[in-house]
Amino acid sequence: NAGVTQTPKFQVLKTGQSMTLQCAQDMNHEYMSWYRQDPGMGLRLIHYSVGAGITDQGEVPNGYNVSRSTTEDFPLRLLSAAPSQTSVYFCASSYFNSPSMNSPLHFGNGTRLTVT
Amino acid sequence: AQTVTQSQPEMSVQEAETVTLSCTYDTSESDYYLFWYKQPPSRQMILVIRQEAYKQQNATENRFSVNFQKAAKSFSLKISDSQLGDAAMYFCAYRSASAAGNKLTFGGGTRVLVKP
């Protein structure tokens, strides 16, 4: 199994450009999410989805859009990149946890994005 | 909102010795989950250990163990018999048990250096 696959691994954008970070998982996980990692701040939740057709905002959603048309894919879109979006981005998935369940998050290997 | 604080930006340990990483969290909830993740230079996020708040017994995974102090809202990680492969960033994370899904709140991380 591939697990959680993120593409690309690295990307450089100019301010104002748009792009989509791809995330795909082959574990039939209902739950998928995007985090950004910045030095000293750990990982912060951008958007998440509890199933196809359902998305919601996390802690730092501004400047990012998501959609979930299939169970497998959860792309993250930057419509107009800004230098503040320079970061490492992680996609993570798991089975849907009810409050009493605790299936672990599976992470992709990250995308390092630089906006100049 | 919950917050997770890791007060040690960096810790250094001699190979074969023990190091303890600190983590405190702020929550008004009584039921939750706590995690330690390891991030080596490869950028991969690896689950090291997890603790359910309702369990009084501290979790242990081989050379990794936690000291969970619920009243003090403290969740430290002890790495025994440190190995060169333990060198990495370590993140403490919190998940509410009252919310569905799998949203984690991360601390800022502690870098562990292992000296041969």
Kindly report, residue by residue over A35-47, the tens digit of the pLDDT: 999 988 899 999 9
HSE-up of A23 (CA within 13 Å, CB side)? Answer: 32
**Phi then psi for B13, rounded to 5 degrees?**
-140, 145
**Could you say which of A35, A58, A97 has the minimum Cβ distance to residue B100?**
A97
HSE-up of A111 (CA within 13 Å, CB side)? Answer: 27
Mean per-residue pLDDT, B32-40: 96
Percent of chain A having pLDDT more than 90? Answer: 87
The answer to whether the Cβ–Cβ distance between A41 and B108 falls below 8 Å is yes
Residue B25's DSSP bridge partners are B4
**Could you say which of B97, B102, B105 has the minimum Cβ distance to residue A94?**
B102
Kindly report, residue by residue over B8-35, the tens digit of the pLDDT: 999 999 999 999 999 999 999 999 999 9
* Residue B79 near residue B18, CB atoms below 8 Å: yes
Cis peptide bond prior to A8, omega within 30° of 0: yes
- CA of B40: how far to CAs of A45, B13, B45, in Å? 21, 16, 8
CA distance B2 to B33: 12
Q: Which of B102, B103, B111 should we substitute to test contact with A (largest number of A Cβ atoms within 10 Å)?
A: B102
| Residues of A in Cβ contact (< 8 Å) with B10 | none
Parallel, antiparallel or unpaired: strands A111-115 and A87-94 = antiparallel
* Confidence at residue A99, expressed as pLDDT on a 0 to 100 scale: 65
**Could you say which of B33, B91, B102 has the minimum Cβ distance to residue A43?**
B91
* Sequential DSSP letters for A45-68: EEEEEEETTEEEE-SS-TTEEE--
Q: Which of B15, B37, B18, B19 is nearest to B83 (CA)?
A: B15
Query: How many Å lie between the alpha carbon of A17 and the closest alpha carbon of chain B?
Result: 26
- Unique residue bearing structure tokens 């509890």: A50
- Unique residue bearing structure tokens 């991380």: B109
Mean per-residue pLDDT, A13-33: 96
Residue B89: alpha-carbon gap to chain centroid: 10
Q: Among residues 7-26 of chain B, which lie with CB inside 8 Å of chain A?
A: 9
Mean per-residue pLDDT, A10-31: 96
